[in-house]
Structure 1
């Protein structure tokens, strides 16, 4: 299997920080002793996880799991699992349904961390052992049996981060039935505040012989079914919270295990003279591959009504392919393929979520036209700069346009709109047309053909051909039908023919008289049809309103703020995305249209979590600073010159250059208003609710940039008079900002909680008095009153306290966040939890400094749940208490676990030394 490696400048991302983290992490482990236990873990958690013997550790730190004790904890609804650093995390869990028909060999669970309900978990306990998948943006890891140990009496388990290599697609097939009409875009607010229904897809999931061999199939299919159940349980974590959609493996899934070459590629494996697949079609996902899935599913199941969506898993091919919108077509609903090693969780799950996203209707979301991204995008769907960030992007394939190293586990708002148009369209769905493929034994066409249709039989067909067959069948059914060849051919041949019935009519299966070996496969019945079924839930979608329309100057940072609420009391997360489509190269300073801003301004910092996954998650706060505040503070924007620094000819851009281009402030050349969509998520399982709202930011192309010019380093004294200066550049007119607010940060820009001047004329100069603080990391922010734009000074400066002044505590912050924000336009809520200071100075006077409270970002106060947490008054709305499960019939496979020991520390030290040696 071929993986595309991470680009050099992204693989070096925060290498110094990672080296330091590895070194000090190893040192801490050596000094602290073992086992290590998280504060979230119950007191007896380490009874489950013990360091594995050295013979089972191999190259990775490994642990042994007390599987009977784990089963008891799963039944009780609370378990612990280890992080890659060895600390234990406690989760509350409940059974999750991934099988249409329960199987005593398979148990699956879903849950959330006790200390942080934003951290979700999926657990599978099967003949493959115990497996866990944890997902919450930056926190992302897997717990799996160590290689070769699953099934041993006391298997070793390892925990590993989930940073996946990018697996590109070999092109993308587009169904001819994707849209029979082009409806007006659906109202994005149509789900706001409405009851959330859970859409259930009965999934026909096929697999090839290499997939069976990869999971160690021993002939009974139990390991293949276990691997599929594990995959779907993990993928449902995203589908349920993002789309209120879940997938369940159909009862006959065992029939879809093509475990041998004879079953997959034998000459009569799908009927007379009809192999299910050619051998070449199983080497990689191609258009021919996905076109054959419907034949294999029809032959193995013989009941087109038994499933809603079909998909093929290849065990070794490193790519994927799907028919865009195939889920909305009864004929094309099986046109999807994922090629990834089932033993490698991260790429397998991620590629599956991407390809099924195509089947549900989503196009690629990236704007790049570089390298492998050429020809893979659609202009109207290109809403993410560069290679993109979301599940429908190509983040690590587009050469210089790679914005980040892996996909974030979210669907962008454009993808969501496209999926809704296919699986939940705002118009009546047209009925499906009957499709049957008839396979004839050799010599059948040498004599007149008679076809039985229900109780009637056609007249003998002597002149075998499309017209004669169609005429004979129409005489029996009373309606015109279409006749074509097999495998997409236009005309019938000696192998057989295809029947396409009239729309909305369900025809009986064709039977060839006097040819008992003939085979008819019904691909889909005619009549009413819909993708999946919808069941009611007790969840209600949140409501959200976006930023009020404003006008801002060009090349000037700004902040967008939403207001959200949830009738169920669920805490919300927020994600702002740009809605201006367009394609082009990321590393270019001539930007006249298309997306300018990343979905997330900043990747999760390498030191934010105990390990680094490269993924991001929506914010708990409704405000998005554009560009990211850390970049503004670092002067890594195009504000001053209108341009970002470009790489030397033939060189890839640096991380800083990519960040600048991925958060590109509009210049006067940008030809459109900026359009944005905010999505509020309640993160409820299994049917997450979302609300969306749109906002417009107009550009004053003859104004800006708005730039702070004073305090570029140096020292000032507390209690002294000071002068703040800035470049107005035409921003003082009424529709922009006649007055501004001046705020001070004493912690390098992490917070701006001191207001030096609440409202002064936007004249370019203001007199203030420096407050009694002691800091060498002071920064100034000047923000528009009654507008959303702002700027900060270019460098930190020092404030020396006066005699006898108490020295305040200054808190450092690796990634700055703002708790004080520009005053919002009238009618909108305050962008932050920080109280607005009172008192407006008289124009021309020296304003007094006012200190405001600065609550911790994301702290919603006592009794307020975090995203996805149980609602007040209920045991747990997101994950209900599970019923006690009787003793599991599963054989003790010695499921593994992890609590690192001295070997873990040694491994970390070794990784540190290796990283230090890398060029």
Structure 2
């Protein structure tokens, strides 16, 4: 109960600061072209998508001065700050000052500050950021989005770039991990089968870090000035690096590293006089032992520009018995460009992971290594202990900011049961570990998608929890190429960033909806085999205490039986299907041996998605026999994009139909005719050069969203091989070429219907029939129909004459057949203005007393707005749709007793 009170108190602190929070304006969104005059920071790996914000640094720092130290009682913090996310939105965080330097070192370099923050409006979010003479550097981790980074964009430190890790698609840096994974301590060489994952034990383990650097590394950052100034600059870059590394170690492992008091003594500014001559392992250990003192640090490391990394051991933190084998100070990480998260996370966090007892997780034969239980990710791997971007086949360019389950298990085993337990400074946490539940084991049919669903409890609350499902099948030997459905051992499924959902669809539901059960890194097996999975739960610090995370994991197994499957839906698998509510429809599926073969599914549920497959929350039939066919009554839920799912009762596999279809919608086609025109087509003056363009317009007042387009032209002209015919949309940007001098052998006239479904043009004389245009007419699909359409014709040769006699456009749209029944008609239900710019007002009379629910869908059936409002007898509410494209949208209003859907047009 005390912990719950803590959370209430934190919430009260937040509420008391709301007025301060919303008056903050130190971040300002700007366009990149508005900061071109300032010199950009040089980056080797540039994100391809990012947003730029200007920062009032002094105003920002004034808020940070209120932040208490993490060692103090965090409940007293009234420092609430905002950071932009990758979508350009500002998120609120509670902030604690969290130094990663010994107090002596921190007092010597007061310009270097680091902070810990945890999310308020996104409880799954946590972050660490630094404030130094090099500006703000931040890493935000969340279960609702990918890892987000904030770095200086301009060298004047006034503008900052905000981006997700996925945006770093540049070539990998010059790096190779040289660690020999046969080098390990006896203390961690134990029976692997006896090692069950142990939850965190409510302890923060702090290790003293001695981080040295070569003169070459220092030269990149030192600048000019006194020795103290130059060392401060180098130390700042080291702190920026380790602050980000610590964020992951604190979240996943409850481990933090703190610079030793005299760390600046091993910052060497001159490459001519530093101790290193190309060998880094032994020399680093010797240097740290001699300068820092062998008893005065727990983990040692060196930064250089060599382009490689070597931990010197697997599990040697705290070990000081020998400088020449497993020694705590032998590790190094080198790169010619040692900045950015390609360096911090991919390489530094990786090498230190080895020092803490973790092995490589990649399974590619090109870089196969590990200890026989760790090679659990396909290809290069994508978590920290993998080789993302530097080993074919590469899953992605860079590592994601998380440790795989097997890495967490190995590191926790070392720091709790191995020599890593001998030197850590332990402190008791208020935060308690969650309890993970992966569920039971299942047998499923081959070549069939499935979904894993875990659960977790936490006495501190579950709102901060994030979840990861990891396949836990080590490859017995190096795998050649990308995963194949016929592999009966090793990993088929890649690792993913932690999510706020305890479910994982395998493959991703988007791929299944597209009919792909074997996307490159999530391959559904077609053979009999076992798939072992680990369900790892992170509490991300629970938003209390000092924000140090706790974890727990649970295991389960999926057995694939190739005597059954594939389990498939066989109905509603054609285009052009339309359902009407109240009708009876038949759903069919291939049982495929699932009633036997140790699967034993006797009953299934049949579900409907009305948003294209994002959710399946409409039950069409429940607990019906698994016999391959079921009649259902179509519900009264109008939708543009419906999908069917058949799922077993008591199992995890499922199947969906292959094509979306509409419910209570129908295609309505309207023909807009020019009438008789008799417009002359002027000859070209010079052969091969375009003549004067004839432009004929059709003004369409109907404002609908186009589903498909057909165009007819009646042109009298000798030698139509001279003609170019084009249709332009009213927006002036989208156009389609109908005819481009196709028939050039004396053919006359164009009496042609242009339709994307038509065949190739037949050059008869005259040219007549239904043909496909030169460029597809579906370019107009999804656009509005209203405005001035233009048919433009030009001649490319003299001596031939012609006339545009007439033409028409046929526009087909999807229309909600239920819209004619306004269930609020007697209650003065109106939406205005319509058309609008994305902002409109809903008015109605409702006596239900229930909340008014407003949902807005786009033409593909995707929910783009959802909100509930307090009821009043005369309801009036203005709705704003942010950043929506022009087109048709459906607004559904429900007061618990009645509902209605109206169409709006956004211009």
**TM-score normalised over the length of structure 1:** 0.61
Name the structure 2 match of 1:326: 316
- In the alignment, is residue 662 of structure 1 matched against residue 662 of structure 2? no
Question: How far did 1:142 drift?
Answer: 4.0
Name the structure 2 match of 1:354: 350
Distance 1:233 1:622, change over 3 A: same
Per-residue CA deviations over 1:301-359 (Å, capped at 9, x if unaligned) read 2x211000000011x34332223223263342112212236762222311211111111
Name the structure 1 match of 2:563: 702
Distance 2:19 2:512 in 1: 36
Per-residue CA deviations over 1:408-458 (Å, capped at 9, x if unaligned) read 111001111221232222x7x59xxxxxxxxxxxxxxxxxxxxxxxxxxxx
Distance 1:59 1:807, change over 3 A: farther
Q: 1:398 aligns with which of 391, 405, 416?
A: 391
Question: How far did 1:82 drift?
Answer: 4.6
Name the structure 1 match of 2:81: 79
In structure 1, the gaps of 5 or more residues are 1-38, 265-275, 282-287, 431-528, 601-616, 639-659, 810-853, 860-919
- In the alignment, is residue 565 of structure 1 matched against residue 450 of structure 2? no
- In the alignment, is residue 580 of structure 1 matched against residue 473 of structure 2? yes
SS in 1 for 2:608: strand
Structure whose alpha-carbon radius of gyration is higher: 2
Name the structure 1 match of 2:870: none
For 1:38-437, list aligned pairs within 5 A.
42-47=21-26, 55-56=37-38, 65-76=55-66, 77-82=79-84, 88-101=90-103, 102-103=106-107, 104-136=110-142, 138-146=145-153, 148-149=155-156, 157-159=160-162, 162=165, 163-164=167-168, 165-167=171-173, 168-174=175-181, 176-179=183-186, 182-185=189-192, 191-192=198-199, 195-217=201-223, 218=225, 219-220=227-228, 221-264=231-274, 276-278=275-277, 281=278, 288-301=279-292, 303-314=293-304, 316-322=305-311, 323-327=313-317, 329-330=319-320, 331=322, 332-340=327-335, 344-350=339-345, 351-370=347-366, 373=367, 375-399=368-392, 401-425=393-417
Question: How far did 1:113 drift?
Answer: 4.0
Asked if 2 retains the 8 angstrom alpha-carbon contact of 1:335 and 1:359, the reply is no
**Structure with more contact order per residue of length (Cα contacts < 8 Å, sep ≥ 6):** 1
Asked if 2 retains the 8 angstrom alpha-carbon contact of 1:620 and 1:858, the reply is no
Question: How far did 1:50 drift?
Answer: 9.0
Distance 2:220 2:539 in 1: 38
Asked if 1 retains the 8 angstrom alpha-carbon contact of 2:41 and 2:155, the reply is no
Asked if 2 retains the 8 angstrom alpha-carbon contact of 1:215 and 1:342, the reply is no
Question: How far did 1:160 drift?
Answer: 5.4
Question: How far did 1:707 drift?
Answer: 1.0
Name the structure 2 match of 1:628: 508
Asked if 2 retains the 8 angstrom alpha-carbon contact of 1:627 and 1:663, the reply is yes
SS in 2 for 1:69: helix
Distance 1:674 1:577 in 2: 10
Name the structure 1 match of 2:652: 788
For 1:423-462, list aligned pairs within 5 A.
423-425=415-417
Asked if 1 retains the 8 angstrom alpha-carbon contact of 2:253 and 2:412, the reply is no
Distance 1:416 1:65, change over 3 A: closer
Distance 2:161 2:865 in 1: 34
Question: How far did 1:58 drift?
Answer: 5.2
Distance 1:41 1:173 in 2: 54
Distance 1:189 1:545, change over 3 A: farther
Name the structure 1 match of 2:587: 724
Q: 2:489 aligns with which of 556, 571, 593?
A: 593
In structure 2, the gaps of 5 or more residues are 1-17, 43-50, 67-78, 666-816, 825-861, 868-907
Name the structure 1 match of 2:722: none
Question: How far did 1:788 drift?
Answer: 1.4
Per-residue CA deviations over 1:465-500 (Å, capped at 9, x if unaligned) read xxxxxxxxxxxxxxxxxxxxxxxxxxxxxxxxxxxx
Q: 1:539 aligns with which of 428, 431, 434?
A: 431
For 1:873-884, list aligned pairs within 5 A.
none
SS in 2 for 1:388: coil
Distance 1:676 1:71 in 2: 45
Distance 1:66 1:245 in 2: 33
Distance 1:295 1:735, change over 3 A: same
Question: How far did 1:706 drift?
Answer: 0.9
Distance 1:121 1:420, change over 3 A: closer
Distance 2:348 2:208 in 1: 16
Name the structure 1 match of 2:713: none
Distance 1:188 1:196, change over 3 A: farther
Distance 1:594 1:216 in 2: 47
Q: 2:535 aligns with which of 648, 666, 678?
A: 678
Asked if 2 retains the 8 angstrom alpha-carbon contact of 1:772 and 1:805, the reply is no
Task: Please state which structure has a larger fraction of its residues in strand.
Answer: 2
Distance 2:194 2:243 in 1: 31
Asked if 1 retains the 8 angstrom alpha-carbon contact of 2:448 and 2:517, the reply is no
Distance 1:205 1:803 in 2: 69
How well do the aligned residues superpose, as a CA RMSD in angstroms?
3.3
Question: How far did 1:789 drift?
Answer: 1.4
- In the alignment, is residue 744 of structure 1 matched against residue 608 of structure 2? yes
SS in 1 for 2:317: helix
Q: How many equivalent pairs are there?
A: 608
Question: How far did 1:533 drift?
Answer: 2.6
SS in 2 for 1:232: helix
Asked if 2 retains the 8 angstrom alpha-carbon contact of 1:773 and 1:805, the reply is no
SS in 1 for 2:429: strand
Asked if 2 retains the 8 angstrom alpha-carbon contact of 1:189 and 1:693, the reply is no
Distance 1:160 1:403, change over 3 A: closer
Name the structure 2 match of 1:27: none
Question: How far did 1:289 drift?
Answer: 1.8
Asked if 1 retains the 8 angstrom alpha-carbon contact of 2:147 and 2:401, the reply is no
Question: How far did 1:145 drift?
Answer: 4.2
Question: How far did 1:556 drift?
Answer: 1.3
Distance 1:313 1:139, change over 3 A: same
Distance 1:188 1:589 in 2: 30
For 1:891-910, list aligned pairs within 5 A.
none
Distance 1:552 1:857, change over 3 A: farther
SS in 2 for 1:46: coil
For 1:833-912, list aligned pairs within 5 A.
none
Distance 1:808 1:796 in 2: 27
Distance 1:633 1:74, change over 3 A: same
SS in 2 for 1:789: coil
Distance 1:724 1:48 in 2: 54
Per-residue CA deviations over 1:282-303 (Å, capped at 9, x if unaligned) read xxxxxx42232101112222x2
Asked if 1 retains the 8 angstrom alpha-carbon contact of 2:39 and 2:155, the reply is no
Distance 1:64 1:716 in 2: 52
Distance 1:222 1:744, change over 3 A: same
Distance 1:324 1:48 in 2: 44
SS in 1 for 2:382: coil
Question: How far did 1:127 drift?
Answer: 3.1
Distance 1:532 1:569, change over 3 A: same
Distance 1:756 1:75 in 2: 58
The answer to which of 405-414 and 42-51 deviates more is 42-51
Distance 1:181 1:87 in 2: 46
Question: How far did 1:783 drift?
Answer: 0.6
Distance 1:41 1:386 in 2: 49
For 1:462-501, list aligned pairs within 5 A.
none
Distance 1:291 1:174, change over 3 A: farther
